[in-house]
A and B are shown apart, each in its own frame.
Chain A
Amino acid sequence: MSTLPKDDSMPIKGAIRIEDVVKVYDPDGAAVMAVDHCSIDIPAGEICMIVGPSGCGKTTLLNTIAGFHGLTSGHIYLDDEVLCGPGKEKAEPGSDRIVVFQNGALFPWKTNLDNIAFGPMMEGKLSKDEIYEKARKMMVDAGLEGTEDSFPGEVSSGLRRRVEIVRALMNEPKVLLFDEPYRALDSLTKSVMHEALLDIYYKNKVTIFFITHDLEEAIFLGHRLIIMSSRPCKPKKIVEVDIPHPRDYSVLTSPRFREIMNEAKGVVNEEARKAFEAGEKEG
């Protein structure tokens, strides 16, 4: 990828290859085909934005990568290892691929600090002291100082999102899977979150698989946009975002941004219209 930064801090791991994946819900009843022979190749360290109309099957695709459910046919590889495929219908959920959920899934009964320490505590590879020291440091780095002992329900939704991303990073995953994480946020908070996410990305360099239907968000964050067709989902058009990283919000007003926007908009709107006419509900 020409737009990927090519320095030594680039991860060597975290490449995802989705090959001919098909997902049909309820194959012996009223079959719903959610993903149709979909192939996507995501190099390690890329921010790959998945854009598509509601109900097209984006979450389904993410869930098969995360291992929340199986696929009907095809393969998914992580760094050339089979995550799932024939003979291994469902990927094992694991801390190499961590999901940041659409509605947020911080545990409301744990403090922010305990939430962040949760992953490593479960894995038990480090001592408790080491884990909490690391957790505190990560919170400071992410500007979350002072909220350690608050519960998620006590802080703003923007802050919660940040805590959730830090929690995901604690396990040093190869891939972060985002399912429209900023959908519920107002546009001001959203832009703060975008810059915070990029900031975290520049420090941690993971592969990011990011679902959204906000085109501006997609272009601002991504190296590449995969625009999906209406259900069943498969890539309809791939748009390279050749605006160099690191980016900040001045990018939004640049002519190149507008050009890419115009290039993508036509396809996105066309698919959205198809989805609307087919009466899709969001999943």
Chain B
Amino acid sequence: MSQSNATMNLTMYRISSWLKSPKPYLMFVGFGLVLSFWYFSVEVWKLPRFQDMPSLTEVFEEWFSEDPYYGLSIYTPEYYKHIGISLRRIAYAFCLATALGVPLGLFLGWSQKLREYIFPLFELLRPIPVLAWVPLAIIMFSGSETPVIFLTFLASFFATTLNTMLGVESIDEEYSRAAYCLGASRWQTFVHVVVPGAMPYIFTGLQISIGVAWFSLVAGEMVSGQYGLGYIINTAYIMVQYSQIIIGMITLGLFGYVTSALVRLAGDYMMQWRVRELALGGD
């Protein structure tokens, strides 16, 4: 079957209906308002407390300069090295969190016994903020890379596991009953009912997971590591190179958005049935 075609078509359909709606133009107005507020407050009105803020022109001149004053712009390989390293950490942490969190969540939801063993421990660890893990992460893992990846992984892992487990619990019992009736074994029911039935929640979990991964990444990179977007922001602050802070922030926003969109696209691809129910309507 042409699954990827259907996903493509749906994506095209979404984009074209988005362009026809007032949304993209409102979006530009929104951006415009924020940017002009930034411009006027810093450069024209010079509001109090804003005098140290990097100005819009300063930031964009630096960002798009072939010879940036502080050494970081879209023309410098250094910039891409930071992005690449942050992305690599996100990829490792997110993939690891998914590879461990989804199966664990599925089994926690599926097996009452396992849940009784593990879930209380899980609930105790989950509320601990990522920053509280920083010292332990640095003690436990050597080098600068693994502690950051570990920190990035943590919150993602909890979000994915918990949502997957809730996904299993959300499945109507009649689906499993129907599967048993039709001669499926317990394991077959797990594969054909529990896994796909939990899928919508799993992808909700992955959306949250990718978001908190960026959050923790920046926290991790600020305290440990020699590269990455979080590192740029922190170093720029210490070195009083304020325009770089903004460049780091905007870049984070862009990549955070893109990775989120990729997760959403993967979800659409995996859940054709849901996409078609929602977008093209049944009854």
Contact = CB atoms under 8 A, between A and B. Distances in A.
A and B physically associate? yes
Interface of A: 66-68, 93-95, 97-99, 101, 103, 105, 107-111, 118-119, 122-123, 149, 151-157, 167-168, 171
B192 to A, nearest CB: 7
Given A94-B181, A156-B283, 14 more contacts: A68-B177, A93-B181, A95-B182, A99-B177, A101-B174, A103-B174, A107-B178, A109-B199, A118-B192, A122-B183, A122-B184, A122-B185, A122-B188, A149-B1
Nearest to A119: B182
What does DSSP make chain B's interface, helix, strand, loop or mixed? helix
A253 B272 CA distance: 46
Contacts of A109: 196-197, 199, 271, 273-274
A66 B277 contact: no
Interface string B64-79: 0000000000000000
B282 interface: yes
Contacts of A123: 183
Contacts of B274: 108-109
B279 to A, nearest CB: 11
B196 A154 contact: no
B276 A154 contact: yes
Given A109-B197, A109-B271, A171-B183, A154 B177 contact: no
Interface in B1-43: 1
Which 8 pairs between the two chains have the least Cβ-Cβ distance?
Answer: A153-B277, A119-B182, A95-B183, A105-B178, A109-B196, A93-B180, A151-B273, A122-B184
B9 to A, nearest CB: 14
Contacts of B276: 151, 153-154
A76 to B, nearest CB: 16
Interface in B161-199: 172, 174-175, 177-185, 188, 192-193, 196-197, 199
Nearest to B173: A68
B280 interface: yes
A118 to B, nearest CB: 6
18 contacts: A66-B181, A93-B180, A94-B183, A95-B181, A95-B182, A101-B177, A105-B177, A108-B277, A109-B196, A109-B197, A118-B192, A122-B183, A122-B184, A151-B277, A151-B282, A153-B277, A154-B276, A154-B281
Contact of B273 (A66, A118, A119, A153): A153
Interface string B197-236: 1010000000000000000000000000000000000000
A65 to B, nearest CB: 11
B273 A98 contact: no
Contacts of A98: 181-182
Nearest to B270: A109
Contacts of A95: 181-183
A99 B178 contact: yes
Contacts of B181: 66, 93-95, 97-99, 168
A121 B219 CA distance: 49
A172 to B, nearest CB: 11
Contacts of A118: 179, 182, 184, 192
A193 B276 CA distance: 26
B282 A66 contact: no
B277 to A, nearest CB: 4
Given A93-B177, A99-B177, A122-B185, A154 B172 contact: no
Contacts of B197: 107, 109
Interface string B262-276: 000000000111101
A152 B172 CA distance: 16
Contacts of B196: 107, 109-110
A32 B193 CA distance: 31
Given A94-B183, A97-B181, A105 B172 contact: yes
Contacts of A93: 177, 180-181
A109 B183 CA distance: 18
A109 B191 CA distance: 12
A101 B277 contact: no
A151 B196 CA distance: 14
